[in-house]
Amino acid sequence: MHSFRYREGKLYCEDVDLARVAEEFGTPLYIYSAGTIFDHYTRLDAALASLDRLICYAVKANSNRAILKLFAEAGAGFDIVSGGELFRAIKAGADPQKCTFAGVGKARDEIEYALERGVYSFNVESEAELEYIGRIAAAKKSCAPIALRINPDVDPRTHEYIATGSHENKFGIALSDAVTVYEHAAQMRSIDIVGVQMHIGSQITETKPFIDAVNKVAPLVRDLKSKYGITFFSIGGGLGIVYESSLESGAKEWWSDAGSAKHQLSIKEYVDAILPALCDLNIRVLLEPGRLLVGNAGVLLTRVRYIKRSGHKKFAIVDAGMNDLIRPALYRSYHEIVPVEEKIERKRKTEKIDIVGPVCESGDFFALDREMPELREGDLLAIMSAGAYGFVMASNYNSRPLPAEALVRRDKVALIRKRQSWEDLVRGETE
């Protein structure tokens, strides 16, 4: 599952002692395990071996170039959503012919750049966008390869902010309109119809929404294959991971405010569920996983600055804030938090505590009323499962420099992004 383990009371990433890395690079610090990322990618790819397939890693989950390079070297493609992501991916060694360009609001300069680089496909989200891409391609005397993003209208049963596959959302083209929009696309000289795409949401922990979506879109795939000779069906990403008790690989509830307990969806369960319908289609299948590949492969290290008591409450104020990892504040999502050095005597004495950041907002918390071993000032903590949608969503709010990132490979650790300085904060500004 992942390579974060205690060895004699000290938390290791692969063969690296995390307390030592925190000393060397300071905190807050994101640390990723190259071994875990590679393992997740190869296991998913192997499970799909019976299909003609391409795993397009969703760059938005973690876009550090060192991470993208791992995927490029493993042979992955990339699901990108902006010119900036395409630029990063190419710099990291990605083959543009393995990149799909998604997103509801592509800009002219982004479309031009993607055309010049020769992306595999533009995943088109509306008829207006189709026309816009057609006009830009015509002006450049080129032809844009496209797939329409179909909204299959299924409930992915996940947090409302990351559910995308129902008609309530801004994403994709309704299944009932698909044939007409494809007919329109077929009339356009600067458009080449190459595929069909869908994505129903993120952190999905059941097979049913995936099966329902594939089954709903499969007849369209057959129809488009015979009419236009499309060559791929992209089924999106969305596979959920374990956020709770991840160190013991137990799985409980993910969203702290979600009603029912959810279990983790294993790669095998997911693939077994969708494989029969996909095999039948006899077409190249693209997947766009992000979180599954990198989520459990990263942690955020942070140090306790102060312990504060106020009334009956106790707080640990840590040096990471909502600007470094916004998921708890934005989605009330649960992240397991563990001490990097286990102290047996303190383990026996657990207590409820809020783990909060230094930012001036009450939403700046990582855990509320969390049962933890007794915490003291100076303790180093690991916020687990922070490899996806962690650093990429960080900001400079409160003029806090962006944290550093490090990548572990067996017993080696490399700084893959320097911590920002105060000078970095004002660079580019004029008075």
Closest CB 197 distance from ligand LLP, rounded Å: 8
In Å, what is the CA distance from 11 to each residue of 161, 240, 337? 33, 24, 12
Closest CB 165 distance from ligand LLP, rounded Å: 10
Which of these is catalytic: 13, 99, 279, 360?
360
Distance CA 239, CA 266 (A): 9
Q: Residue 343: CA atoms inside 13 Å, Cβ hemisphere, count?
A: 13
Distance CA 10, CA 319 (A): 20
Question: Is the CB of residue 21 less than 8 Å from the CB of residue 301?
Answer: yes
Build a one-symbol-per-residue string for 51-90: x at contacts with ligand LLP by CB under 6 A, - elsewhere: -------x--x-----------------x-----------
Helix axes 34-47, 65-74, angle to 10 degrees: 40
Closest CB 56 distance from ligand LLP, rounded Å: 8
Closest CB 235 distance from ligand LLP, rounded Å: 10
Q: Residue 194: CA atoms inside 13 Å, Cβ hemisphere, count?
A: 19
Build a one-symbol-per-residue string for 86-125: x at contacts with ligand LLP by CB under 6 A, - elsewhere: ----------------x-----------------------
Omega cis (within 30) before 28: yes
Cβ contacts of 16 within 8 Å, gap of 6 or more: 408, 411, 412, 413
> Which pairs from 121-125 meet CB under 8 Å and 24+ separation?
121/145, 121/146, 121/147, 121/194, 121/195, 121/197, 121/232, 121/234, 122/146, 122/147, 123/147, 123/148, 123/149, 123/197, 123/234, 124/148, 124/149, 124/173, 125/149, 125/171, 125/172, 125/173
Q: Does 209 bind ligand LLP (CB under 6 A)?
A: no
Q: Please report which residue ranges of 140-199 form alpha helices under DSSP H.
A: 178-187
Closest CB 54 distance from ligand LLP, rounded Å: 14
Closest CB 409 distance from ligand LLP, rounded Å: 23
- Write the single-letter amino acid at 218: A
- Write the single-letter amino acid at 215: N
Candidate list 35, 83, 195, 289; residue touching ligand LLP; CB under 6 A: 289
Cβ contacts of 240 within 8 Å, gap of 6 or more: 158, 202, 203, 204, 205, 254, 262, 264, 265, 291, 292
- Residue identified by tokens 């916020």 is 383
CB closer to ligand LLP out of 163 and 413: 163
CB closer to ligand LLP out of 285 and 292: 292
Build a one-symbol-per-residue string for 119-158: x at contacts with ligand LLP by CB under 6 A, - elsewhere: ----------------------------------------
Candidate list 290, 298, 339, 373; residue touching ligand LLP; CB under 6 A: 290
CB closer to ligand LLP out of 33 and 202: 202
CB closer to ligand LLP out of 59 and 380: 59
Q: Is 99 a catalytic residue?
A: no
Say what the alpha-carbon torsion angle 153, 244, 55, 109 is, to the nearest 10 degrees. Answer: 70
Distance CA 332, CA 253 (A): 12
Closest CB 60 distance from ligand LLP, rounded Å: 6
CB closer to ligand LLP out of 85 and 379: 85
CB closer to ligand LLP out of 10 and 332: 332
- Write the single-letter amino acid at 324: D
* Residues of span 360-419 touching ligand LLP by CB under 6 A: 388-389
Candidate list 262, 303, 327, 335; residue touching ligand LLP; CB under 6 A: 327
Distance CA 247, CA 4 (A): 7
Build a one-symbol-per-residue string for 168-207: x at contacts with ligand LLP by CB under 6 A, - elsewhere: -------------------------------x--xx----
Run of H or E including 309: strand 298-310
Give the total of residues touching ligand LLP (CB under 6 A): 21
* Residues of span 229-258 touching ligand LLP by CB under 6 A: 236-239
Closest CB 291 distance from ligand LLP, rounded Å: 4
CB closer to ligand LLP out of 12 and 32: 32
Residue numbers at the binding site for ligand LLP (CB under 6 A):
58, 61, 79, 102, 162, 164, 199, 202-203, 236-239, 288-292, 327, 388-389
Catalytic residues: 360
